[in-house]
Amino acid sequence: MATLEDIGVAAAFNLLSALVFFLAFAILRLQPFNDRVYFSKWYLKGLRTSPSRSGAFVSRFVNLDFRSYLRFLNWMPEALKMPELELIDHAGLDSAVYLRIYLIGLKIFIPITFLSWAVLVPVNYTNNTLKLQLKNVTSSDIDMLSISNIPLGSDRLWTHIVMAYAFTFWTCYVLLKEYEAVANMRLHFLQSEKRRPDQFTVLVRNVPPDPDESVSESVEHFFLVNHPDTYLTHQVVCNANKLAKLVKTRAKKQNWLDYYQLKYSRNNAHRPIMKTGFLGLCGEKVDAIDHHTSEIEKLSKEIAEERERVLKDPKAIMPAAFVSFKSRWGAAVCAQTQQSRNPTMWLTEWAPEPRDVYWPNLPIPYVSLAIRRLIMAVAFFFLTFFFMIPIASVQALASIEGLVKVAPFLNPIINAGFIKSVIQGILPGLALKLFLIFLPTILMIMSKFEGFTSLSSLERRSATRYYLFNFVNVFLTTVVAGSAMEQLNTFIKQSTNEIPRTIGVAVPLRATFFITYIMIDGWAGVAGEILMLKPLIIYHLKNFFLVKTEKDREEAMDPGSLGFNTGEPQIQLYFLLGLVYASVTPALLPFIVIFFGLAYVVFRHQIINVYNQEYESAAAFWPDVHGRIIIALLISQVALIGLLSAKHAAKSAPFLIALIVLTIWFYTFCKARYEPAFIRYPLQEAMMKDTLERAREPNFNLKPYLQNAYVHPVFKEEDEEDEDEFNYKLETESVLVPTKRQSRRNTPVPSKMSGASSPSLSEVAPKHSEHTN
Amino acid sequence: MATLEDIGVAAAFNLLSALVFFLAFAILRLQPFNDRVYFSKWYLKGLRTSPSRSGAFVSRFVNLDFRSYLRFLNWMPEALKMPELELIDHAGLDSAVYLRIYLIGLKIFIPITFLSWAVLVPVNYTNNTLKLQLKNVTSSDIDMLSISNIPLGSDRLWTHIVMAYAFTFWTCYVLLKEYEAVANMRLHFLQSEKRRPDQFTVLVRNVPPDPDESVSESVEHFFLVNHPDTYLTHQVVCNANKLAKLVKTRAKKQNWLDYYQLKYSRNNAHRPIMKTGFLGLCGEKVDAIDHHTSEIEKLSKEIAEERERVLKDPKAIMPAAFVSFKSRWGAAVCAQTQQSRNPTMWLTEWAPEPRDVYWPNLPIPYVSLAIRRLIMAVAFFFLTFFFMIPIASVQALASIEGLVKVAPFLNPIINAGFIKSVIQGILPGLALKLFLIFLPTILMIMSKFEGFTSLSSLERRSATRYYLFNFVNVFLTTVVAGSAMEQLNTFIKQSTNEIPRTIGVAVPLRATFFITYIMIDGWAGVAGEILMLKPLIIYHLKNFFLVKTEKDREEAMDPGSLGFNTGEPQIQLYFLLGLVYASVTPALLPFIVIFFGLAYVVFRHQIINVYNQEYESAAAFWPDVHGRIIIALLISQVALIGLLSAKHAAKSAPFLIALIVLTIWFYTFCKARYEPAFIRYPLQEAMMKDTLERAREPNFNLKPYLQNAYVHPVFKEEDEEDEDEFNYKLETESVLVPTKRQSRRNTPVPSKMSGASSPSLSEVAPKHSEHTN
């Protein structure tokens, strides 16, 4: 148990380390040779070019203007300056709404902090319970401010119940307002946007096989019959997974070829040599450049064959299609209705935007989906509660005794003092750490297996799972102090009304731990984020080894994106801590507030200057965020019931149960009231937009615009790399072919642009789409 | 604990009483003066008229043909003879599918009975556990056949687990097949049916208020804009609740007037006299005929005024409307899509058929609905678990001491021996019995308060609640042996894994009780149903006191309908018992099978000959039935887990947990696969039907057909009673006015007829529906 002083020291230390990170960032970002790392978003948008073509050689790499170092924190006000509307325009709605999660944290917790310090802290502090016990029980100064200091059965506990009501109502009020605001932003975004192919398009899955017709014909006939007035065109989905794999392999080889050619050009003395075996460690030695050139040639041939096969073979056509309509109204109708009497056939859903499609999952049939979902639910249950079993066995293996048993010949090496201590100190922890690092990837793979069809839904599902995992294995494990497996055992064996008690009693005891956690993971972690260490290092390595042209340099920088699947669940942990401790240990709240404030500024800066969002889901994740904050509220209420019953104030339980019922009701109300805005496209909106557009551009020909909007990305990539190869195809198209420069510049900007103006999507004409205009 | 002999005696007794009921029925139904009671359905369809106009006077009342008494059970094969398709045609799909619930009981339990008697009974019987204990524990012969006879920790328990798997798989298989069959029947029914107004109509609720437009204009503009190609017409809903009440009062007075007039006509000596006060017990004496005549006149005037007001006053128009479309496709699209960006405005749903609409609930706004739902959920929780509190206090009051305390002056009367014993013996039980009799009504009132808009959905919701109530207060109370309140307390205080154990251990002990229950409530109860005692008595009373004309006699018989809200939950109790005991006490199964067989025959007879279904929901209740059988399965699995853990076979629990997971998965699979068929109207189906009909009747004018399909029933009733009064309205209509005889004959037949051919619906033209053709 830490005293106030300990906490103070820890806070100072963590604030200092945050300051060091900011200082390092301030220095690094001013160096021109880091410019592409810290302003990558602007480069991708084409609004910034490599600095200092002119000027001294040194100043191309190091910033010598010392005055700029003095204002080392001035990126903060800059980050806050951009208004929200401009931010949406600049980085997309997803990013802007993501920032609102931090903002909602501030909105919820600043008033709660003031209120609880004004009311609860005096009420708690003016007791002597802990002072009297101090001799027996370890207790910290922080606990003097917490509910622990209230004697058993005291009437003062009613204050905490009243405060729980106040906190709940305030949180719900903020959530309601925010849900409404985000829903409006989303509708406004969809409304004010330029034309986007996904507004007109519906993804149709599980097209039933027809012995007489191809998939394409079957789709066309079905929609011509059932949506005669609105059907426009469609694109079938072909299974280009193998082709994509080949193209990826070739790109990798090409990279190596570039590397060796660069090496050779720098040192003309002898040609680079490589080994063909595993990881270049064994096998016969060959000339690296020749080897890769021939490999690439071979691959190119294979790719060409595979491409022909995909375009011609009817077996490569999947029973899924993107069906486009003449109006948004038609698409909205088709996406929201059931088409066939068998509800597992002709499944329609609003198409994700082209960048957002996760192609490999499109052809999974319905029954398989249901089974996959079951398998993944069971797998996730075991992953959450029993993940410690394999790790424990790895740890046992990684211990000295384990290693010696498995490989006795290692005995002499292991017993050397230094190595022994390394193994004992690092290996067991390493196994757990490695697992935790790979966890988001594992969860992502699970989501992919489950069969979601868009990247955004994959990330949302992974986020949900990550949140659950964190809740069980970080929050509950810390509070109840036992592995998840042990908890499961405890909870099953405990009586139903004992469970909240177990949690409730433990909650105030862990306050100091969580304060430290918030400072390390929250404050320092967020400050570290701004440094972008990993991309910085990778960029400079690539820059040194691979970059030959300006185009290479462009590609060397991978700014990454927000990473909803890992980021959001971590924020949710802070909501959970804040709400649980609000009425128990108010001393924790200021730390939460500082976290949200800091994170808001840092991520706003990153979103403006660095991250490049891969897709735009128009804030489709908000219902999840909203739901999880309400779950945090419910948990805080359950914990308070448990705590109060341990404090012999059980007669107050009905009041808190009523609060729980009200909170659940609030959730269902919000779900019915606002969630449809995130799933459906209201016909009124669609009709309005259609009418407006028809009045503005009465002669716009929609068909060529939509014809090739949904083309497997491998065709697009291919196309960018060797355009000439397919020029013969383009000649049959009536679409204007833009210059390469334009199409390159356009692809990475937010979808609203790419949808509206990126004709690179239509550079390929898959043969099987037989509708010409 | 009963021995096999006791059970045998009870079975014989109950079979005998069932036989007596059947005999009584056979005699009563052959008497011509009961003809209208036992064949009321045929009278309502107009296919049967009062018998024996000719013939001897006696044979008009008593059947003297003694041969017909000999074949007293031949209604049974007759009931089974009618093929299902004809049954659907005769009594509607709801009734036909309702019968399938009994059939599914037979399909599930006959194979399970054979299997469990072939496998489980020998396995259980060949142990000596109970014989060894027999001296200590009370145990019955039935228990020799049950799982109780297996020693603790025996490997034979694996047989029960394997059997649980077999039973689950068989039940799920039957359920799946049946769900598919019913879904197909429903779609086929909707497809093959004649034109019905609800196929073209959508119920729109929560029309937002507009300061410049009336509701009618607002609706018209909205749908003309957002469904320009398909919108046809609409009817606003007006608040005619007060008018309906007045009309009802007048009908009651009219009844009394008829009664007095009949009395006067039979005895011309002196005019009948009545008192005007409470229930005719006090107040001044007046001439009954004059009094009622003047009252009716007054009411008629009021009704005319109120009718004018409803039709003219804009405040009487509710923010709801029935919107009709040019095609089924248009209606299906509108019902399935979200109209406005605020999902609580312009709520659309597939309109119930006109007879099915529950008018008073149409204008409830969205927020109010959400709050009502919360209140009712809480109220139902208290009703289920704490209903014993008020009843116990009534019982305390109804005891001798209670009565004496409240009303000391009753002391001498109460202490008389006979009255004392009556009070002590009957009153406490009476309070509970009265509550149970009124329970379905209470639940129905709760559903009405919740705001459902159709009778069918009201009944479905009441059925769900009644099932839950029965489950807690009949099944659990018997098994755990304590009131619901005590159970709640036990379950909260017990550990999570103790709960299944508590249930599981008690289940085999209650087998004999439930066997008796099945015989009394199931066998004798069902056999009693066929006698129709209540309607029989009421009919003859009415016939004696009120009937003057043939038309009166028609109205005197109220055959009732199936009563889904009370009937289905009771059947579900048998599914629950059968599935729970299948692997525990197989001896119970034959009793269940006999119940289902008997009930199937009896209800098939009743549906063919008696019941008159009030509405047709096209088997919309099936998902509920399916879901509840699966809940019974889950409960049986949980109970088995508990039982096995008490039998020291805890290591087998994972196998049953896997079974539970699989069962839940099966439920979600079926829900996704089949439930849409019961909620949505697939566009493909709608389009097919539209196309067919357009080809068959290219010149059919839909508008007049739909214009007045949804008129508040009070306008229709009024119309039937005093047609002349509104003839001036009819003259403005272009619809053919049928003769009274036709419209009377048509109204009570199944909806498919009434929708297609009952023009009585369009006899009134509410002024506010301003669309003329």
Q: Which of A342, A382, A674, A694 to mutate to test the interface with B (most CBs of B within 10 A)?
A: A342
Per cent of chain A over pLDDT 90 is 13
Residue in B344, B494, B682 nearest the CB of A495: B494
d(CA B291, CA B296): 9
Q: Which of B187, B338, B380, B497 to mutate to test the interface with A (most CBs of A within 10 A)?
A: B338
Quick one: pLDDT at residue B630? 94
Inspect the interface and report whether the beta carbons of B497 and A493 lie closer than 8 Å.
yes
Torsion sign (Cα): A595, A598, A601, A606? negative
Contacts of B370 in chain A (CB under 8 A): 665, 668-669, 672
Q: Which of B371, B638, B684, B690 to mutate to test the interface with A (most CBs of A within 10 A)?
A: B684
Quick one: pLDDT at residue B304? 84
Size of interface A-B (CB pairs under 8 A): 125
Inspect the interface and report whether the beta carbons of B343 and A677 lie closer than 8 Å.
yes
Per cent of chain A over pLDDT 70 is 79
Q: How confident is the model at residue B637 (pLDDT cuts 50, 70, 90)?
A: very high
Query: What pLDDT digit, counting tens, does each position of B297-355 carry?
Result: 888 888 888 888 877 777 778 888 888 888 888 888 888 888 887 777 888 888 888 88
Angle between helices B366-386 and B417-450 in degrees, nearest 10 = 150
Inspect the interface and report whether the beta carbons of B341 and A677 lie closer than 8 Å.
yes
Please name which of B427, B405, B404 lies closest in space to residue B416, comparing C-alpha atoms: B404
Inspect the interface and report whether the beta carbons of A339 and B682 lie closer than 8 Å.
yes
Please name which of B582, B515, B577, B581 lies closest in space to residue B112, comparing C-alpha atoms: B582
Inspect the interface and report whether the beta carbons of A338 and B343 lie closer than 8 Å.
no
Quick one: pLDDT at residue A241? 77
Query: What pLDDT digit, counting tens, does each position of B534-548 carry?
Result: 777 777 777 777 666
Quick one: pLDDT at residue A596? 92
Quick one: pLDDT at residue A105? 93
Amino acid of residue B37: V
Quick one: pLDDT at residue B572? 92
Contacts of A337 in chain B (CB under 8 A): 332-333, 336-337, 680, 683
Per cent of chain B over pLDDT 70 is 78
| Structural domain spans, chain B | 4-192+370-679, 197-352+697-773
What tokens appear for B725 in the block?
A: 């009064």
Query: What pLDDT digit, counting tens, does each position of A614-646 carry?
Result: 788 888 899 999 999 999 999 999 989 888 888
Burial class for A574, CB neighbours closer than 10 Å (0-12, 13-18, 19+): buried
Residue A556 scores a pLDDT above 80? no
Inspect the interface and report whether the beta carbons of B370 and A674 lie closer than 8 Å.
no
Contacts of B492 in chain A (CB under 8 A): 495-497
Quick one: pLDDT at residue B711? 79
Residue B137 scores a pLDDT above 50? no
Angle between helices B417-450 and B455-470 in degrees, nearest 10 = 130
Q: How confident is the model at residue A773 (pLDDT cuts 50, 70, 90)?
A: very low
Q: ∠ CA(A594), CA(A595), CA(A601), 5° rounding?
A: 90
> Mean of the per-residue pLDDT values for chain A?
77
Residue in A333, A492, A685 nearest the CB of B497: A492
Shortest Cα distance, chain B CAs vs residue A621, angstroms: 18
| Residue in A with minimal Cα distance to B668 | A370
- B721-755 burial: b if 16+ Cβ within 10 Å, else e: eeeeebeebeeebebeebeeeebebbbbbbbbbbb
d(CA B510, CA A201): 60
Question: What is the mean predicted confidence (pLDDT) over B101-119?
Answer: 92
Ramachandran category for residue A201: left, alpha or beta (phi over 0 → left; psi -120 to 50 → alpha): beta
Question: What is the mean predicted confidence (pLDDT) over B94-119?
Answer: 92
Cβ-based neighbour number of residue A601 at 10 Å: 20
Quick one: pLDDT at residue A278? 63
Inspect the interface and report whether the beta carbons of B374 and A665 lie closer than 8 Å.
yes
Residue in A333, A494, A675 nearest the CB of B333: A333
Residue in A675, A677, A682 nearest the CB of B339: A682
Burial class for A158, CB neighbours closer than 10 Å (0-12, 13-18, 19+): middle
Question: What is the mean predicted confidence (pLDDT) over A750-754?
Answer: 35
d(CA A365, CA A363): 6
| Residue in A with minimal Cα distance to B688 | A226
Query: What pLDDT digit, counting tens, does each position of A202-228 carry?
Result: 888 888 888 888 888 888 888 888 888
Residue in A187, A333, A370 nearest the CB of B669: A370
d(CA B414, CA B403): 9
Burial class for B308, CB neighbours closer than 10 Å (0-12, 13-18, 19+): exposed
Q: How confident is the model at residue B423 (pLDDT cuts 50, 70, 90)?
A: low
Q: Tell me which of A174-178, A309-313, A425-429, B477-481 is least confident.
A: A425-429
DSSP state of B603: H
Query: What pLDDT digit, counting tens, does each position of A124-146 carry?
Result: 887 776 666 655 444 556 777 77
Inspect the interface and report whether the beta carbons of B676 and A343 lie closer than 8 Å.
yes
Question: What is the mean predicted confidence (pLDDT) over B501-510?
Answer: 82
Residue in B337, B677, B685 nearest the CB of A332: B337
Quick one: pLDDT at residue B392? 74
Q: How confident is the model at residue A66 (pLDDT cuts 50, 70, 90)?
A: low
Q: Tell me which of A116-130, A152-166, A395-409, A605-619 is least confident.
A: A395-409
Residue in A341, A669, A680 nearest the CB of B684: A341
Inspect the interface and report whether the beta carbons of B378 and A661 lie closer than 8 Å.
yes
Contacts of A494 in chain B (CB under 8 A): 495-496
Question: What is the mean predicted confidence (pLDDT) over A588-594?
Answer: 90
Residue in A495, A668, A684 nearest the CB of B495: A495
Contacts of A681 in chain B (CB under 8 A): 338
Contacts of A687 in chain B (CB under 8 A): 225-226
List the alpha helices (DSSP H) in A337-406: 366-386, 388-398, 400-406
Q: Are A106 and A597 in contact (CB under 8 A)?
A: yes
Contacts of A685 in chain B (CB under 8 A): 341
| Residue in B with minimal Cα distance to A500 | B492
Q: Helix, strand, or coil here: A393? A: helix
Count of residues in chain B: 773
Question: What is the mean predicted confidence (pLDDT) over B728-752?
Answer: 37
Which carries the bigger pLDDT value, residue B64 or residue B2?
A: B64
> Mean of the per-residue pLDDT values for chain B?
77
Q: Are A303 and A243 in contact (CB under 8 A)?
A: yes
| Residue in B with minimal Cα distance to A228 | B687
Quick one: pLDDT at residue B759? 35
| Residue in B with minimal Cα distance to A496 | B492
Residue B72 scores a pLDDT above 80? no
Angle between helices B417-450 and B388-398 in degrees, nearest 10 = 160
Residue A771 scores a pLDDT above 50? no
Burial class for B170, CB neighbours closer than 10 Å (0-12, 13-18, 19+): middle
Shortest Cα distance, chain A CAs vs residue B226, angstroms: 6
d(CA A755, CA A749): 10
Quick one: pLDDT at residue B277? 63
Quick one: pLDDT at residue A179? 92
Contacts of A497 in chain B (CB under 8 A): 492-493
Q: Helix, strand, or coil here: A492? A: helix
Quick one: pLDDT at residue A725? 41
Quick one: pLDDT at residue A65? 65
Amino acid of residue B132: L
Q: How confident is the model at residue B747 (pLDDT cuts 50, 70, 90)?
A: very low
Torsion sign (Cα): A122, A127, A132, A136? negative
Q: Tell me which of A162-171, A172-181, B498-507 is least confident.
A: B498-507
A350: β partners: A202
Cβ-based neighbour number of residue B57 at 10 Å: 7
Distances (CA, A) of A209 to A213, A220, A347, B701: 8, 14, 14, 39
Shortest Cα distance, chain A CAs vs residue B454, angstroms: 21
Query: What pLDDT digit, counting tens, does each position of A455-482 carry?
Result: 888 999 999 999 999 888 888 887 876 6
Residue B764 scores a pLDDT above 70? no
SS (HEC) of A265-300: HHCCCCCCEEECCHHHCCCCEEEHHHHHHHHHHHHH
Q: Helix, strand, or coil here: B618? A: coil
Inspect the interface and report whether the beta carbons of B341 and A684 lie closer than 8 Å.
yes
Q: How confident is the model at residue B745 (pLDDT cuts 50, 70, 90)?
A: very low
Shortest Cα distance, chain B CAs vs residue A372, angstroms: 11
Q: How confident is the model at residue B635 (pLDDT cuts 50, 70, 90)?
A: very high
Contacts of A338 in chain B (CB under 8 A): 336, 676, 680-683
Query: What pLDDT digit, counting tens, does each position of B245-266 carry?
Result: 888 888 878 877 877 777 777 7
Shortest Cα distance, chain B CAs vs residue A189, angstroms: 13
Cβ-based neighbour number of residue A665 at 10 Å: 17
d(CA B574, CA B519): 11
What tokens appear for A438 in the block?
A: 């790979």
Backbone angles phi, psi at B212, to 5 degrees: -100, -20
Distances (CA, A) of B493 to A435, A479, A493, A526, B497: 38, 22, 11, 44, 12
Inspect the interface and report whether the beta carbons of A343 and B370 lie closer than 8 Å.
no
Burial class for A118, CB neighbours closer than 10 Å (0-12, 13-18, 19+): exposed
Inspect the interface and report whether the beta carbons of A491 and B494 lie closer than 8 Å.
no
Query: What pLDDT digit, counting tens, does each position of A186-198 carry?
Result: 888 887 767 788 8
